[in-house]
Structure 1
């Protein structure tokens, strides 16, 4: 199994849409006061497969041998029978995290697709299918709510740029932001905004008359709400 882990580390192709190994849920919430959390993986195929898991700190090109996230995964490599499940335990072993905001890591799992026996040497693989999901370590009593991210966000224009402020302790999984004013419209798509953080884009609108935001919650559902126009002084932290 150790040799298999080395092969997996060197051959990663991200193609989660084709994955037959799936995770329960769309993200992993790790309460900051928990010793560990469990992740459920399921094989939907009619044949067994080998799976490897690891975490990274934000590098989408990470591999098991190079990732440095402060977690222990048990088991890190395993065989998953057809139409069966496997529980993977994640244990945080790093320094204490900030208590006013979530901390973000990424959970990766890779499966080996079937190959015809004898079609290629035993030590070679044609392709690996990789999936990658967020791991959010969440302290208690954070400001804001994952269900009301529009209420704790602000939008404004300054120096030819459109700004969005996440004025909460939660990560904002932005699906879209639609800003309109003075007969013009601007749409921003798909961005993750860290807690207490401001992001910006070149503005194509001259004023913010109205701003509507869509975001994704812990269960993968999309919520929508109106964002209050503001300015940097309104949303300081």
Structure 2
């Protein structure tokens, strides 16, 4: 039996996301086996489907190598090369890098009763053109929130993907807290409002290094929506 599990992976990637400069021919990803035994690793990219598999994924990338054996306590460099059409130059483009760890299987009589657990990890691949509006370190300054007709809105006015960790809005009387969300460049997302007034908005987000940053977000009046 094969089962995809959320168990703690022993094959780990250096970094929490992959940044692919749009003018680069390829980028390298480092994987490390922390186990005391070898394993087989398979890698692929997808366009946003968490149920993707190597046979169905159609992201425009070539991975080298796509499958490899990783010895105990050793590392492997995987090269990613983009082979698709030119990307938009005013925003990041997003794909997902997947890697599955296939542990060694038992041989002999025990093999018939063995449960083989495949541990899958999935991280963002952000293709980043030069000269984008904003900064991954200052996402709060290029974000805006407002209330309109019982709906809370948040707009990402930058060319970078916003990895929102939390958003807290409201006043001294009542607050609303929004949890993790990925917001595309120049995109607006919304939620049913649980507050009737926003006196202050504070945001936490994840940067390229995986650290959580925080900052105050500008609150727009209804008449300023879209700016």
Query: Scaled by the length of structure 1, what TM-score is found?
Result: 0.91
Indicate yes or no: 2:51 matched with 1:69: no
In the other structure, the counterpart of 2:106 is 116
Uncovered stretches (5+) of structure 1, i.e. residues with no partner: 1-9
For 2:179, which of 166, 189, 192 is the aligned residue? 189
In the other structure, the counterpart of 2:31 is 41
What is the aligned residue count? 226
Shift of residue 235 of structure 1? 6.3
Q: Give the whole-Å Cα distance in 2 for the aligned partners of 1:232 and 1:219.
A: 35
In the other structure, the counterpart of 2:120 is 130
Shift of residue 182 of structure 1? 6.0
Runs of 4+, deviation exceeding 2 Å: 113-118, 231-237
Indicate yes or no: 2:195 matched with 1:205: yes
In the other structure, the counterpart of 2:4 is 13
Q: Give the whole-Å Cα distance in 1 for the aligned partners of 2:157 and 2:130.
A: 17
Residue deviations 1:191-232, cap 9 Å, x none?
000000000000000011100000000000000000010157
Instruction: After TM superposition, list the pairs within 5 Å mapping 1:21-32 onto structure 2.
Output: 21-32=11-22
Q: Give the whole-Å Cα distance in 1 for the aligned partners of 2:44 and 2:135.
A: 29
Indicate yes or no: 2:217 matched with 1:227: yes
Indicate yes or no: 2:165 matched with 1:180: no
Q: Name the SS of the counterpart of 2:117 in structure 1.
A: coil
For 1:57, which of 47, 69, 80 is the aligned residue? 47
Q: Name the SS of the counterpart of 1:187 in structure 2.
A: strand
Mean CA deviation greater in 176-185 or 52-61: 176-185
C-alpha distance 13-87 of structure 1, shift in aligned 2 (>3 A): same
C-alpha distance 203-222 of structure 1, shift in aligned 2 (>3 A): same
In the other structure, the counterpart of 2:80 is 90
Q: Is the 8 A contact 1:154 1:231 kept in 2?
A: no
Q: Give the whole-Å Cα distance in 2 for the aligned partners of 1:45 and 1:39.
A: 19
Q: Name the SS of the counterpart of 1:120 in structure 2.
A: helix
Q: Give the whole-Å Cα distance in 1 for the aligned partners of 2:222 and 2:34.
A: 49
Q: Name the SS of the counterpart of 2:167 in structure 1.
A: strand
Q: Name the SS of the counterpart of 1:69 in structure 2.
A: coil
